[in-house]
Amino acid sequence: MHPAAQVAAALIPSIGVGAVFWFAMRAIIQADRRERQAVARLDAEARKSDAAKD
């Protein structure tokens, strides 16, 4: 087996696992960001409605 092919065979699985991990973490962080924005929006609406009642 050619040395370059051996290097590629050794690195490709690690790169693949790293890419899967990166996409998973990116999805988790984006979901958290969207959830925090939604909670902030709900809190703002609640404060606005409480202020309107007073």
- Residue pLDDT tens, the chain, 54 long: 899 999 999 999 999 999 999 999 999 999 999 999 999 999 999 999 888 876
pTM of the model: 0.73
Residue at 9 is within a domain: no
pLDDT for the residue 53: 76
Residue 43 and residue 34: Cα distance in Å, rounded? 14
| Number of structural domains in the chain | 1
Residue 1 makes CB contacts below 8 A (sequence gap 6+) with 9
Name the residue range of residue 50's domain. 15-54
Residue at 7 is within a domain: no
Residue at 27 is within a domain: yes
